[in-house]
Chains A and B, each alone.
Chain A
C-alpha cells in the first residue's frame, strides 16, 4: 500500500487532502453559517456618507467623473438612496483598485490581540467585520510595510489622503509608499475617479465600529489611554 499507485493516489493524494480540507476549511465555514455575507449596499453607513458628501463638495469635477464612471448621471440631484447606491458601487470599484495596485501586500487589514496593536490602531479584529462582499477574498494581508488600514477611516482628512496618494513623501519624509499620480488629473487638488474612490474606501475602513476615529492619537502620546 505505501509504495503502490492506489495507496498514493487515493490515500495520500485524495484522502489526506480531503481530511485537511474538511478539518481546516469546512469547519470555519460551518462555524460562520449564522453570519450571512452582507452586500456592499448593506455596509454603507452614516460615517461613509458624510465623507462622501465632503468629497463631492471638495472635488466636484473628480466626483462627477466617478459618478459617470459608475454609469450614473452626474447632473442628477442626489437623494439619500442614490447616494447610498453610489457609495456602495464606489467601494466595489475602489476595492478592485486596492487589489490591483497590491496595497494589500504592504498593508494588512486586521488588528491582532498582541504586540500592543490594539493600542496603536483600535479594537482587535472580529469575524463579523469580514462577513461581507468587500472581504471576498478577505484582505487580511500578510505583510506590513505600511501600517494596518482596518481602522483607517476617520483617522485622516480627505485632503490629507489626496496629498498623500499624490506623493507620500511630501507628508511623511521617510515614506516608501509608491506615489499614485494616476489617481489624479495633474495635481493633488484634482483627484480623478480613482483617487476619489480610493479616498472613500480609506474612510470606510473601520467606519462600522462605534468609535470611528475623530482624532488620531499619536502612539507616543497614547500612554495615558487605558
Chain B
C-alpha cells in the first residue's frame, strides 16, 4: 500500500472517493428537504390548517410515512454512507472493495429511496413502522444493504490484530443492519401473524435505531472527535464497556414499543429491564466523550463541527434518560400513544444523529471541495435556528404528551384531548418552521460554497 505510485497525491486522498462522498451528502440534503416539507404538511394538518386538504396525492397519512422513511433511508442512510466512505478508508488505510461497486450502490440506493417515496404516495405502504417501504422494494433494499456490507467489510477485516473502536461499531453495524432489515420486513409480513409478529416488529423498530443508526453514529463520533481534537479518547476501558454493553442489551429491548399489548408479560418485563440497562451503558459512552474535552470544554463550543457533535451527545443523554423513565410501566400508562413519544423520536433522529451528520458535513464539505465555507455566519444561523427549533419542539411535545395522557386517562371525551393539544401543535408548527429556516441557511450556504466559495485556506490544505 505504501511506496511506488504517484507520491505527489497524499495517500489519504487516493484512498477516498471524494466525489462520491459529496454526492451522498447532496442526496442526503435533498431528502432532508423533502422530509421537512412532509413533516410540515402533517404539522399543519394537526392545526386544521392543511392548505392541501382533500387532494389524494397529498393525503397527510401518506406524507407522514414519507417523513419518517425519508428521514431514515433518505437523509440519515445517505449521510452515513457518505461519511463512511470518508472514514473507513482513512481509518483502515485501505480502500473499499471496489469503486465501481460504490457508485453502483449509490445509484441503486437512490433508486430504492425514490421508489419508496413514490410507492408510499401511491398508497402501497407496508404495515411495519419505520419499514413502510412497499413490499416489492424490500428485497432490493436488502440486496443493497448486503452490497454495502460486502464493500466495507474487506478493508476492515483485512487488518490483523486489534481494531480501533470505530471499526468495532462499523463492523457490527453492517451485520446487524442486514439482519434487522431481513427480520423486520419479511417475518411479520409473510410468516407470523398477530401478537407474535408484533413482538418482531417491536424488535425491528428498535433495532433499526439501536443496531443500524446508533452504532454507525457512535463509530463516526469515535473517529471524528479525536481527530478534530487531536487527542485520543479519554478511556479505552469505557469504550469497551460501551460497545459490548450496547451489543448485548440493545437487541433485547424491542418489545418496549408494545408494552401492555397481549405480548406475554414476562417478555415485556425483560424488555423494560434491558432498556434500563442500556441507559447505564450509554452513560459510560457519554462520560467517555465528555472526559475527552473535560479540561478544554470551550473547544467543543468554538469548533463548529465539534459543537454539533457535543450538542448531539448531550441530547443523546437526554433521550436516554427519557428512555429509562418512559419504558417503565407506570410511565407507559400515561405517555404511551401520546406526543411525548413523538418528541422523543425527533430528539433521537434529528437532535442526535441528524446533528452529528450535519456536523460531519460541515467538517467535510470544505475538505471535499477544497474551499472554505462561503459564509461562517450562515453556518452560525443554521446551528442557532436548528438547535432552538429542536429544543422548543422537544419540550413542547413532551408537555403535550403529558396533557394528552391525562385527558385520556381521566375519560374526558376524545375532543377534549384535541382541544388541549391545539396550542401545543401550533407551537410545534413554529418550532418546525425554525428548523426549516435553519436548514434553508445551510442549503444556501452549501450551494454558494459549491458554486463560488472563498479561497482555499492554509488550515484546510494542512488537513486535507
Contacts and interface: CB of A to CB of B under 8 A. Distances in A.
B248 interface: yes
A13 B175 contact: yes
Contact of A24 (B193, B203, B412): B203
Given A104-B127, A115-B334, A23 B252 contact: yes
B312 interface: no
Given A3-B163, A143-B342, A219 B412 contact: yes
B264 interface: yes
Nearest to A27: B267
A110 B411 contact: no
Q: How large is the interface on B (under 10, 10 to 19, 20 to 34, 35 or more residues)?
A: 35 or more
A158 B20 CA distance: 56
B462 to A, nearest CB: 31
Nearest to A6: B157
Nearest to B189: A137
Given A9-B175, A19-B251, A220-B413, A28 B338 contact: no
Contacts of A35: 194
Interface residues of A, number: 81
B194 A131 contact: yes
B183 A5 contact: no
Interface stretch (A47-55, A68-76, A169-177, A202-210): A169-177
A214 interface: no
A4 B270 contact: no
B384 interface: no
B275 to A, nearest CB: 12
A144 B418 CA distance: 11
A219 B127 contact: no
Contacts of A11: 247
Contact of A12 (B124, B172, B201, B341): B172
Given A4-B163, A8-B168, A137-B201, A132 B64 contact: no
A42 to B, nearest CB: 12
Nearest to B271: A24
A85 interface: no
A160 interface: no
A130 B252 contact: no
Contacts of B240: 2-3
A100 B125 contact: yes
Interface stretch (B53-61, B280-288, B347-355, B373-381): B53-61
A155 interface: no
Contacts of A176: 45-48, 418, 425
A175 B271 CA distance: 35
B152 to A, nearest CB: 13
B418 A4 contact: no
B194 A32 contact: yes
A127 B195 CA distance: 6
Interface stretch (B25-33, B94-102, B255-263): B255-263
Contact of B125 (A4, A102, A114, A142): A102
B450 interface: no
Given A28-B263, A130-B262, A138-B188, A101 B195 contact: no
A89 interface: no
A87 B405 CA distance: 36
Contacts of B200: 25
Given A100-B123, A100-B125, A24 B267 contact: yes
A115 B408 contact: yes
B244 interface: yes
B222 to A, nearest CB: 13
Contact of A101 (B61, B264, B341, B413): B61
Contacts of B203: 20-21, 24-25
B151 interface: no
Contact of A136 (B47, B189, B422): B189
Kindly list the 5 A-B residue pairs having the minimum CB-CB distance in the complex, ordered from nearest: A102-B61, A130-B194, A100-B123, A20-B251, A13-B175
Interface of B: 45-48, 50, 53-54, 56, 59-62, 64-65, 122-129, 156-157, 161-163, 168, 171-172, 175-176, 179-180, 183, 187-190, 192-203, 211, 240, 243-244, 247-248, 251-252, 254-255, 257-258, 260-264, 267, 270-271, 332-334, 336-338, 341-342, 405, 408-415, 418-419, 422, 425
Interface of A: 2-5, 8-9, 11-14, 16-17, 19-21, 23-25, 27-29, 31-32, 35, 37, 96-97, 99-106, 108, 110, 112-117, 119-120, 125-127, 129-133, 135-147, 169, 172-176, 178-182, 218-220, 222
Given A12-B168, A12-B247, 17 more contacts: A3-B163, A8-B168, A8-B171, A9-B172, A12-B244, A20-B254, A35-B194, A105-B65, A114-B333, A115-B333, A115-B408, A127-B195, A135-B197, A137-B201, A143-B337, A175-B418, A220-B411
22 contacts: A2-B244, A8-B172, A12-B243, A12-B244, A12-B248, A13-B171, A13-B172, A16-B251, A17-B211, A25-B203, A28-B196, A96-B123, A105-B64, A105-B65, A106-B61, A112-B336, A119-B411, A135-B193, A136-B189, A136-B193, A180-B59, A220-B413
